[in-house]
Amino acid sequence: MLREPVTSIVDANSGGMSGNTGRYEKRLSDLSGLYENAAAHAQLTQKLGDPVVYAVEDFRPGDHAGDLIYGITRMSPGRIGDEFFLTRGHIHAKADRPEIYYGQKGKGLMQLESPEGETRIVEIGPQSICYVPPYWIHRSINVGDEDLVMLFAYPSDSGQDYGIIEASNGMRHRVKTDGNGGWILVENRDYRPRSSDTVAALMKRYA
Amino acid sequence: MLREPVTSIVDANSGGMSGNTGRYEKRLSDLSGLYENAAAHAQLTQKLGDPVVYAVEDFRPGDHAGDLIYGITRMSPGRIGDEFFLTRGHIHAKADRPEIYYGQKGKGLMQLESPEGETRIVEIGPQSICYVPPYWIHRSINVGDEDLVMLFAYPSDSGQDYGIIEASNGMRHRVKTDGNGGWILVENRDYRPRSSDTVAALMKRYA
């Protein structure tokens, strides 16, 4: 069946988008287990009344192969100890599917990790696109003082695997404040590298 | 082989993008055959010295299934008789592949045509996304007085079939100036509808 064209008007300020088929939110409590300072996370969650940390509005035509999902995400600024508000992070269930992000507002980072544990950081702001290649775990981080708003697009049959980060006790590096308005990378002491079997299983090419 | 993340800085004013793997241009002479007033096209081409009408910079990771191509396009404003500067238009060679456009500057239209000859028009400007669903022929048109700049993304194995418009003697409608700064749709008198066999062959689902 032929589908109708869609127009989405982007509100880069509020992080909204018309024409979307869905919307979801993540609250501060949904980020439990991600931060080194778990006590600070619990305290801030209670103190702030478990606020929404990020919201996503997307257009999903379906999950068949060959189509595209696109949407917009807005993430609040904030810190837990010396770490920033961030997304849980994921690799695509079909790990060879890429993703594109396009900054609209604010100052963010894309933290990427290869199956073998290499880290890459891409800075994202207005007018910058980040292409996340196939096979990279990725997470976005708001390192600024205002909302981080980004558009994204990815193949509709990508799927998300959030368990990969849990299985390695987090990503290999933590992004922390440098105490001077910037950020630094610090080794995550709890990180468990993936076995070569796990890596080989991830590096599959899907149809 | 694992590929490195890519950052593309978008210049919405000039229609450029860093991190691109390629670039191509179309000149006014490349648009021959598209306009009702062929003499006006030939005259203007000669008078202006065959200028570049639109340019595309894109990032192509390859053409395997499951990946994404993205890029930016800049189209000059201009008219041939009472028609606007426009792209040749295409359907994807794998016709079930969609495309996303995101306006950055100027005032444009996406003219869409279904295999059976239905027309849809989507207005595109800064902050508006146009989702071109699977199976729609599409062409962009600069109906404004300045450059039209758009970002785009589509599945890397989509391919382009430009012959489909030639085979039907153009798209079913022409977009013309209304003489008052706007535009109107006019039936293309030369249009040859596609046969039901041709339509059925186009409506295939690819892997």
Domain ranges of chain B: 10-202
Residue B106 has pLDDT above 90, yes or no: yes
Q: What percent of chain B has pLDDT over 90?
A: 96
| Cβ–Cβ contact A163 with B under 8 A | no
pLDDT of residue B108: 98
Residue B1 has pLDDT above 80, yes or no: no
pLDDT of residue B198: 96
Q: What span, in angstroms and rounded, lies between the C-alpha atoms of B63 and A123?
A: 27
Indicate the pLDDT class of residue B63, thresholds 50, 70 and 90. confident
Residue A57 has pLDDT above 90, yes or no: yes
pLDDT of residue B114: 98
ipTM of the complex in this document? 0.95
Nearest CB to A66 within list B2, B12, B206: B206
Q: What percent of chain A has pLDDT over 90?
A: 96
Mean residue pLDDT across chain B: 97
Distance from CA of B84 to the nearest CA of A (A): 22
Residue A101 has pLDDT above 80, yes or no: yes
Using a CB-CB cut-off of 8 Å, the residues of chain A touching B157 are 66
3-state helix, strand, coil in chain B (%, to 5): 15, 45, 45
Distance from CA of B73 to the nearest CA of A (A): 15
Q: What span, in angstroms and rounded, lies between the C-alpha atoms of B124 and A67?
A: 21
Nearest CB to A155 within list B61, B136, B155: B155
Nearest CB to A3 within list B68, B100, B133: B133
- Nearest-Cα residue of chain A relative to residue B70: A100
* Strand ordering across the sheet containing A83-84: A79-80, A83-84, A173-177, A183-187
Mean residue pLDDT across chain A: 97
pLDDT of residue A1: 76
Nearest CB to A98 within list B7, B61, B207: B61
Mean pLDDT over A177-197 rounds to 96
Q: What is the pLDDT of residues A113-147, one digit of tens each?
A: 999 999 999 999 999 999 999 999 999 999 999 99
Using a CB-CB cut-off of 8 Å, the residues of chain A touching B10 are 102, 127-129
Mean pLDDT over A103-114 rounds to 98
Q: Does domain B10-202 have CATH number 2.60.120.10?
A: yes
pTM attached to this predicted model: 0.97
Distance from CA of A140 to the nearest CA of B (A): 14
Gyration radius of chain B's alpha carbons: 17
What does DSSP assign to residue A127?
T
Q: Closest Cα partner for B116 from B6, B21, B202? A: B202
Strand partners, A83: A80, A176
Residue B127 has pLDDT above 90, yes or no: yes
Q: What is the pLDDT of residues B69-94, one digit of tens each?
A: 999 999 999 999 999 999 999 999 99
Q: What span, in angstroms and rounded, lies between the C-alpha atoms of A2 and B133?
A: 8
Neighbouring residues of B181: CB distance < 8 A, sequence distance ≥ 6: none
CA quadruple B84, B112, A104, B62: dihedral, nearest 10: -100
Q: What is the pLDDT of residues B10-55, one digit of tens each?
A: 999 999 999 999 999 999 999 999 999 999 999 999 999 999 999 9
pLDDT of residue A126: 97
| Cβ–Cβ contact B66 with A under 8 A | yes
Indicate the pLDDT class of residue A207, thresholds 50, 70 and 90. confident
Q: Closest Cα partner for A87 from A66, A68, A73? A: A73
pLDDT of residue A64: 80
Residue A45 has pLDDT above 80, yes or no: yes
Decide if B134 and A7 are in contact by the 8 Å CB cutoff: no
Both ends of chain A: CA-CA distance in Å?
A: 23
Phi, psi dihedral angles at B92 (to 5 degrees): -75, 145
Distance from CA of A135 to the nearest CA of B (A): 7
